[in-house]
C-alpha cells in the first residue's frame, strides 16, 4: 500500500470517527468494533454516492439500507444512521429475506452468511440503482460494487467501478481515491476492462 493511500484511509477513518453520533461512540463493549467501523463506512458511503432521481419516489424519501442474510450489525447500524440526513433524506434500515424487497433499497449489504448465494442476489438487483456492499472474498470481482476486506486487522474496501456504472450510481472521486479499484473477473463470466 502506498504511503499516500495509507494517509487517505487514515483521514477517512478519522472523519468517520468524528461523524459517528455520540451514542454510537459509547456502544457496549459487546458490540463488535469491526461492525461499528463497517456501519460507519456504510453511512459515509451514502455521502459519496449519487443515485439517479428515479431511485427515490419523493425528494425527501429516505435512503433505505437493506441487510440480507445474518445481521452482523445488531443495532449498531441503526444507531449510526439514527436521525442522520444526507441531502434532506433520512435513513431506514431493513432486514431482508429472499424476494422483491431486495430491489426496494438503495444500499444492500449482503452478509457473509450468503456467500454461496451472493451472485444470485447481485443478479436480482443488476441494472437497478442499488449500491451492493459485501464482505465475501471476490465480492466486487464477481459483480458487487463495494467489498469490505480486512488487512492487518483493519477494515478496507474495494470498488468495482463498472458495476457501479451499470447500476447508474456515481461514486465520488474522493471515495474512489481511498479504495482499491477492482475489475470483474473473466473467470466468473464477466468481461474485464
Confidence band for 12, pLDDT divided at 50, 70 and 90: very low
Task: Encode pLDDT of 13-37 as tens digits.
Answer: 444 443 444 444 434 433 478 999 9
Compute the 3-state secondary structure of the chain and give helix, strand, coil in percent, each to the nearest 5.
Answer: 40, 20, 40
Place of cell 470483474: 184
Confidence band for 48, pLDDT divided at 50, 70 and 90: very high
CB neighbour list of residue 44: distance below 8 Å, 6 or more residues apart: 12, 15, 16, 19
Q: Which residue has the higher pLDDT, 173 or 97?
A: 173
Q: Are 108 and 130 in contact (CB under 8 A)?
A: yes
Q: Which residue has the higher pLDDT, 2 or 52?
A: 52
pLDDT of amino acid 157: 97
pLDDT of amino acid 187: 55
Distance CA 24, CA 36 (A): 8
Place of cell 467501523: 37
CATH of domain 3-188: 3.40.50
Distance CA 20, CA 27 (A): 11
For the chain, give every domain's residue range: 3-188
Kindly state the cell numbers that stand for 99.
424476494
pLDDT of amino acid 50: 97
Distance CA 124, CA 79 (A): 29
Q: How far is CA 187 from CA 59, 116, 190, in A?
A: 41, 17, 7
Q: What is the mean pLDDT of the chain?
A: 83
Task: Encode pLDDT of 59-115 as tens digits.
Answer: 999 999 999 999 999 999 999 999 999 999 999 999 998 766 778 899 999 999 998
Kindly state the cell numbers that stand for 156.
478496507
pLDDT of amino acid 102: 79
Q: Which residue has the higher pLDDT, 185 or 37?
A: 37
What average pLDDT does this structure show over 151-172? 95
Checking if the pLDDT of 161 tops 70, the result is yes
Amino acid at each position: 500500500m502506498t504511503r499516500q493511500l495509507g494517509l487517505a484511509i487514515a483521514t477517512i477513518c478519522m472523519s468517520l470517527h468524528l461523524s459517528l453520533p455520540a451514542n454510537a461512540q459509547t456502544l457496549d463493549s459487546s458490540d463488535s468494533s469491526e461492525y461499528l467501523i463497517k456501519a460507519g463506512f456504510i453511512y459515509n458511503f451514502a455521502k459519496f454516492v449519487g443515485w439517479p432521481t428515479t431511485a427515490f419516489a419523493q425528494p425527501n424519501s429516505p435512503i433505505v439500507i437493506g441487510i440480507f442474510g445474518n445481521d452482523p450489525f445488531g443495532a449498531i447500524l441503526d444507531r449510526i444512521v439514527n436521525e442522520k440526513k444526507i441531502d434532506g433524506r433520512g435513513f431506514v434500515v431493513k432486514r431482508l429475506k429472499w424476494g422483491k424487497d431486495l430491489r426496494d433499497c438503495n444500499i444492500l449489504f449482503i452478509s457473509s452468511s450468503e456467500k454461496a448465494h451472493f451472485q444470485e442476489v447481485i443478479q436480482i438487483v443488476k441494472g437497478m440503482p442499488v449500491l451492493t456492499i459485501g464482505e465475501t472474498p471476490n465480492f466486487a470481482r464477481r459483480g458487487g460494487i463495494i467489498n469490505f476486506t480486512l488487512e492487518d486487522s483493519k477494515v478496507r474496501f474495494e470498488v468495482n467501478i463498472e458495476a457501479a456504472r451499470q447500476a447508474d450510481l456515481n461514486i465520488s472521486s474522493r471515495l474512489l481515491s481511498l479504495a482499491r479499484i477492482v475489475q470483474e473477473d473473466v473467470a466468473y463470466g464477466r468481461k474485464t476492462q
